[in-house]
Structure 1
Amino acid sequence: MFRLIRTVGIIIGYAALATTKLQHMKNQKERLPTVHVQDTYITMMAKKWAGRILDSADVTVEVTGHNVNDDKPVLFISNHEGNFDIPVLVHAIDKPFGFVSKIEVKDIPFLDEWMMQLNCIYLDRSNRRSSLQMIKDGVASLKEGHNLLIFPEGHRSKGQGLQEFKAGGLKIAKSAGVDIVPVAISGTAALMEKYNSKRMVPGHVKVQLLDPVPATVFNDHSLDEVGQLVRARIDEALRS
């Protein structure tokens, strides 16, 4: 329980501290030459935040695969095990990225402004129009040169195995004309979800960055087929 309280304190406290630096960072960002460089600069603070969370929870992260860090925008598609997925992925992936988050996160103190700077997108699962707007916002973000990460399962699996993928999010990649980078993450559910979020335990997490699926895949395959292809690659990686 103490580890959980300490980690939550770090999440909120570090976000509050970082917010005091936000205006300066925004001013500095505007002087940088490209979207990729600007996003990389802003993400430095997010990576420090993620590292402190993982250290406080005594979590180690193993990253395998090819971490591409060029300026070509991509859509990351990852399975979704637990609450620690975001800090682990921010720590593990070199490319800066925004992510699709449930609308409830907007109410967490200090985080909303940082979510905006990281080019995150909110989704209200109870509102169908919100899903359509999420797709539009995701396409626009990618076309502007930002990277985006989605969890097509929609909900945390909590270590109960890979769930079915919702193909709707793949419309983002198809409409934006970007490559898809599948990501397999394992071990985060064992840190908290197995104990119903009442306590945390130290652990080891593995992140596998898989070979990109080129944007041209949509020339010959439907959204459902691409979704099945990406899911199969992630499933194979999780079983290896």
Structure 2
Amino acid sequence: MKYLYYLYQLVVVLPLFLCSTILTALVTTIGCTLGDGHFWGYYPGKLWSQFTIRILLLPVKVEGRKYVEKGQSYVFVANHQGAFDIFLIYGFLGRNFKWMMKQSLRKIPLVGKACEAAHHIFVDKSGPSKIKESYEKAREELKDGMSLVVFPEGARTHTGKMGPFRRGAFMLADELQLPVVPLTINGSFNVLPRQRDGRFVHWHPLRLTIHQPIYPVGKGADNIQTIMSESCQVIKGSLEQE
């Protein structure tokens, strides 16, 4: 059955995924250039993500949408299990947001241009001034209910275990006095394990847990440390033991 699923991916999924990716990138770029960047920067990517997961026949469960309020800006922070974190959050979080992503992703043909047109935020770590520019752009985007999604680990896990968090997202939330919403992702590492059969997707359920917002309890180093520690504990607490 496993090899039949692999064959299905090669014959059916791969051509559909490539075509939908190119179409999504073009629609996003053109739409953001000619029209509302918040609309065209989110909905084509959302549909593309849902389509990708559906054609791979992966079941998805989302919990906790009731905790986020319409019109409120949030900084969402999630554990980073693998590539399918992108599809799960983009397709099923149910909130318009901007990604905070690595500068290197700008180089991906078509996709990088689409992300730039959609005003997603590339983090340039080449120097303090560049990092500051990234935060300034994030500050400009987080208005009128727009939110931000960050992977505070900074990179995908190689082992399936969650790594230590970096302070950047929590410093931004502290500066803007925005609530932080932890997101726990389960199953993404199993869908595309990095140690084995890296070219093929493995069938496995995906689960996205949206936790209650963590509101600032002040401003400064103590608040940053508090919300970072609490976010880490909350996310870890909902991770499934494999």
Cα distance in 2 for residues equivalent to 1:45 and 1:59:
20
Change (3 A) 1:235 1:149: same
Residue identity in the other structure for 1:62: K
Which secondary structure does the structure 2 equivalent of 1:149 belong to? strand
Indicate the percent of aligned positions where both proteins have the same amino acid: 18
Which secondary structure does the structure 1 equivalent of 2:226 belong to? helix
Asked whether 1:58 is paired with 2:57, we answer yes
Cα distance in 2 for residues equivalent to 1:124 and 1:6:
37
Which secondary structure does the structure 2 equivalent of 1:59 belong to? coil
Q: CA deviation at 1:214?
A: 1.2
1:218, 1:226 within 8 Å by CA — same for their partners in 2?
A: no
Structure 2 portions without partners, runs of 5+: 1-5
Matched with 2:205 is 204
Matched with 1:190 is 190
Q: CA deviation at 1:202?
A: 1.5
Matched with 1:171 is 171
Matched with 1:17 is 23
Q: CA deviation at 1:27?
A: 3.8
Aligned pairs (5 A) from 1:23-62: 23-24=30-31, 26-29=33-36, 39-40=38-39, 42-62=41-61
1:179, 1:213 within 8 Å by CA — same for their partners in 2?
A: yes
1:69, 1:94 within 8 Å by CA — same for their partners in 2?
A: no
Q: How many pairs align?
A: 232
Cα distance in 1 for residues equivalent to 2:192 and 2:11:
13
Superimposed CA distance per residue, residues 213-238 of structure 1 (whole angstroms, 9 cap, x where no aligned partner): 11345479332232111101111122
TM-score under structure 1 length normalisation: 0.83
Matched with 2:225 is 224
Asked whether 1:87 is paired with 2:72, we answer no
Residue identity in the other structure for 2:103: I
Superimposed CA distance per residue, residues 129-169 of structure 1 (whole angstroms, 9 cap, x where no aligned partner): 44333323222321465211001111112453121111122
Superimposed CA distance per residue, residues 15-37 of structure 1 (whole angstroms, 9 cap, x where no aligned partner): 322344443565442xxxxxxxx
Residue identity in the other structure for 2:188: T
1:85, 1:185 within 8 Å by CA — same for their partners in 2?
A: yes
1:73, 1:142 within 8 Å by CA — same for their partners in 2?
A: yes
Change (3 A) 1:12 1:183: same
Q: CA deviation at 1:112?
A: 2.5
Cα distance in 2 for residues equivalent to 1:128 and 1:229:
27
Moved more, 113-122 or 7-16: 7-16
Matched with 2:3 is none
Matched with 2:150 is 150
